[in-house]
A and B are shown apart, each in its own frame.
Chain A
């Protein structure tokens, strides 16, 4: 039983967290400061969160106790940014994996929830990945930590269990995403592909170029529907797994490049490779733990 998938998930999510920090750096204070504008994005988001549940992590939880130290809000926000960046770097390196994963999950979630009005799909998928990573048996055998301190693999069955959880979750995601698309009229004639790639800010390519290849649009639309709705069926058999995995990776790469959604494309590729890019985690269902 290999834990390569866990190493891939750890490094991939570390990269995502680092890229999140770097991409948000220029607007970090404006987004999270409580007095940056008449209506602060954080205040609006956190007010809406309070209506949902008091248990949802938010930046205010972290700033409130720290403010007793007498530090300015901007200083605290930069400290938050630095710790989040550091946790991402530690995940990439594989040092202090468990504390880094828990910190990355909590801080990323708090930041995403406190700017929830500006959130989009990518944030959700990073939260899903970090949630599974935080619970998985870390450190994996590929991490620097386990190599330096010769840490033994503690519970091999749990490695398989969390990979299975991620696999089942992805199957539900793609099935319902595909079903919702199949129920729309314009995925069958390709008009939704046209609408998606010509609407700002996704209009990376010249519409003239796409219009010249318009006869391909219905085929692309139907292919996307089939890849997504067929995912929970064709990703499991060994014969079709590589075809489906390759198709899904190609689809997310194309979305990333053609629509400028690089971080979204990257997180979906990471989750798919971690879930189905390595061996089948059947070990959880065996009675005896497999020795390494």
Chain B
């Protein structure tokens, strides 16, 4: 009897964590104005988002055992991520192209490629997650992708990563012959001989 109660309590805690991650995601989406939720309600959800954020174990010090245990558990159980795939709307597609300057001054272009269809899904997920927003994470990911291009082109002296947002026409426009278009997002120059890079924003 006692063991049954313990299992039920453990399940309740487990599902509470799943609910907390999922609720936080919905509230965060609403608070950032990315949903159909009207602006007055969205501003209210911002307060709830702040309260939830203050209750998150991530607010505790990194060495805190409660933080370590809770975050370790949610990762071990696979429940650390919310379930809002392609929601509330499908995000814009980001495309990365590498412009390679070779030692003999000729220039070639390459796109990051994957060995298999599964790898292509993984690469696409990485680019969508990391390249969309400005910051150190975008720089790290682009440098990582550029370094793999550099491994295939050891004579490259400079690689420029160009990120563009792809807009695909709607179905009716597509039938009338409209084509996809690209908008420049940012570019980064990587010079591998000096291990320095500079970035250029639009």
Q: Which residues of A contact B (CB under 8 A)?
A: 23-24, 26-27, 37-39, 41, 44, 49, 51-57, 109, 113, 115, 117-121, 124-128, 130-131, 157-158, 161, 164-165, 168-169, 172-174, 176-177, 179-187, 191-192, 194-196, 198-201, 207-208, 210-212, 214, 217, 260-261, 263, 284
Contacts and interface: CB of A to CB of B under 8 A. Distances in A.
Contact of B89 (A51, A192, A214, A263): A192
Interface string B164-202: 001010111011000000000000000010000000000
A261 B121 contact: yes
26 contacts: A23-B118, A24-B118, A27-B114, A37-B144, A37-B151, A44-B144, A51-B62, A54-B72, A55-B69, A55-B76, A56-B72, A109-B76, A118-B122, A165-B15, A173-B22, A174-B83, A176-B83, A177-B87, A180-B35, A180-B83, A181-B87, A192-B90, A195-B168, A200-B93, A201-B121, A214-B175
B79 A128 contact: yes
Interface string B75-116: 111111111111111100100000000000000000000111
Contacts of B62: 51
B175 A201 contact: no
B71 A57 contact: no
Contacts of B25: 176, 180
A172 B147 contact: no
Given A23-B118, A37-B144, A56-B71, A173 B174 contact: no
Contacts of B18: 169, 172-173
B90 A176 contact: no
B76 A120 contact: no
Given A23-B118, A128-B77, A39 B69 contact: no
Nearest to A259: B121
B35 A184 contact: yes
* Chief secondary structure at chain B's binding surface: helix
Given A183-B30, A183-B36, A207-B174, A192 B86 contact: yes
Interface in B105-137: 114-126, 130
Nearest to A118: B122
B26 A179 contact: yes
Q: Which 3 A-B pairs have the closest CB atoms?
A: A55-B72, A127-B78, A184-B88
B124 A128 contact: no
Contacts of A207: 168, 171, 174
B138 interface: no
A37 B168 contact: no
A52 B75 contact: yes
B85 A177 contact: yes
The CB with the most chain B CB atoms within 10 A, among A131, A161, A199, A212, is that of A199
Contacts of A118: 119, 122-123, 125-126
Contact of A196 (B69, B86, B150): B86
B107 to A, nearest CB: 22
Given A176-B22, A211-B174, A199 B93 contact: yes
B36 A38 contact: no
Contacts of A125: 78
Contact of B116 (A26, A200, A211): A26
B122 A54 contact: no
B9 interface: no
A115 B83 CA distance: 20
Contact of B19 (A53, A164, A172, A263): A172
A199 B167 CA distance: 9
A23 B68 contact: no
Given A54-B68, A184-B35, A172 B88 contact: no
A212 B176 CA distance: 11
A185 B87 CA distance: 10
A284 B7 CA distance: 11
B75 A121 contact: no
Contacts of B86: 181, 192, 196
Contacts of A56: 71-72, 75-76
Contacts of B73: 55
A246 to B, nearest CB: 21
Contacts of B75: 49, 52-53, 56, 109, 113
Contacts of A185: 36, 88-89
